[in-house]
Amino acid sequence: MRGWEPLTFQAKEGLALLNGTQFSAAYSVWCLLESSRLAAQADLNAAIGFDAFNCRLSPLDEHIHRIRPHAGQTAVAASLRNWLKDSAISVSEKTDVQDPYAFRCVPQVHGASRDALAHIAAMTLTEINSVTDNPNVFPDDDLILSGGNFHAQPLALPLDYLALALAELGSIAERRIYQLISGQRGLPSFLTDNPGLHSGMMIAQYTAAAIVSQNKTLCVPASSDSIVSCNGQEDHVSMAANAATKARRVVLNLERLLAIEFMVTVQALEFRRPLHSSPRIEDIVEAYREVVPRLEEDRILSVDMGKTVAFLRGR
């Protein structure tokens, strides 16, 4: 026992505690903190993917982003250039004139999600530093005013947007997985030395596709709904709470998707040997291989996926 006497709420106190958007806001903060890590992971995956799929570096060139200077796009291009600095693979001869969008348009696609996250963060920050109960008491102005600061529309729209922005990072990641296992660019089908006897990474893409599909259903905007409540007094509601719990599921799904992509992409990269990627990327690959060895023969991929999630979370 802590010696805490149970409180008896006095005038207005129960109401002040119950009004407010702290459930939706807490989810939004949690999702944003996770999202910044996941957005960085998506960039790293794509950078490794550039070398694994033997892509040209031209789509990352600063000239291109200077003439379409969205902040997210510019930052993602710079991030990928930075990851790929001094990669021997990236400066090796390229056979294809252009690469698929899942690689070539990473700055534009990842960048748009980053800009979305910046907007969602700005809305969330204003919200969590606000007073969201009702009525509001202004002692210095001798005012007690009834208003609507509890209405969570300023979180409902951003939380739906957050789900969409993260689902897109996952959607393009699954397309990169698909390209890498499809037997192109000198890579063996399903990234196994002996396709046929071994299925290699075949089913990893199924898992990724199942998650991407689930994310799409989770992107149906909760905020597009409203159901009249309280005898018509509350005749427009935001559904922010449903947007919030849904957004969290998309975050968790994205973490799993990016782990699968990382697992597949590292496997693909090693078919480029003796050439190497950048020192920064190769350091990470080496550390990862201490945890998850290269897939030589078929084994339980679920185990590798779980270890990959843990490895990336600990980085």
Q: Which stretch binds other proteins (CB under 8 A): 59-67, 134-142, 171-179, 185-193?
A: 134-142
CA–CA separation, 121 and 29 (whole Å): 8
Q: Which stretch binds other proteins (CB under 8 A): 108-116, 204-212, 244-252, 294-302?
A: 244-252
Q: Which helix (H) or strand (E) holds 137?
A: strand 136-138
Would you say 34 or 298 has its CB closer to other proteins?
A: 34
Q: Which stretch binds other proteins (CB under 8 A): 63-71, 106-114, 129-137, 279-287?
A: 129-137
Would you say 5 or 286 has its CB closer to other proteins?
A: 5
Helices (H), the chain: 13-18, 22-52, 62-66, 71-83, 101-104, 106-128, 153-181, 202-218, 240-269, 279-291, 301-314
Q: How far is the CB of 251 from other proteins (least distance, A)?
A: 12
Would you say 232 or 274 has its CB closer to other proteins?
A: 232
Residue 6 per-residue DSSP state: P
Q: Letter for the amino acid at 211? A: I
**DSSP-derived 3-state class of residue 4:** coil
Q: How far is the CB of 185 from other proteins (least distance, A)?
A: 39
Considering only 46, 75, 121, 269, the residue that binds other proteins (CB under 8 A) is 121
**DSSP-derived 3-state class of residue 23:** helix
Would you say 34 or 282 has its CB closer to other proteins?
A: 34
All residues at 6 or more sequence positions from 290 whose CB lies less than 8 Å from its CB, including other chains: none
Is 220 a binder of other proteins (CB under 8 A)?
no
Lookup: tokens for 70: 């969205």
Closest CA to 46 of 108, 119, 116: 108
CA–CA separation, 114 and 119 (whole Å): 9
Q: Which of residues 2-41 bind other proteins (CB under 8 A)?
A: 2, 4, 6-27, 29-30, 32-33, 36
Would you say 7 or 97 has its CB closer to other proteins?
A: 7
Provide the mask over 184-203, with x wherever binding to other proteins is found by CB under 8 A and - wherever it is not: --------------------
Considering only 64, 70, 78, 136, the residue that binds other proteins (CB under 8 A) is 136
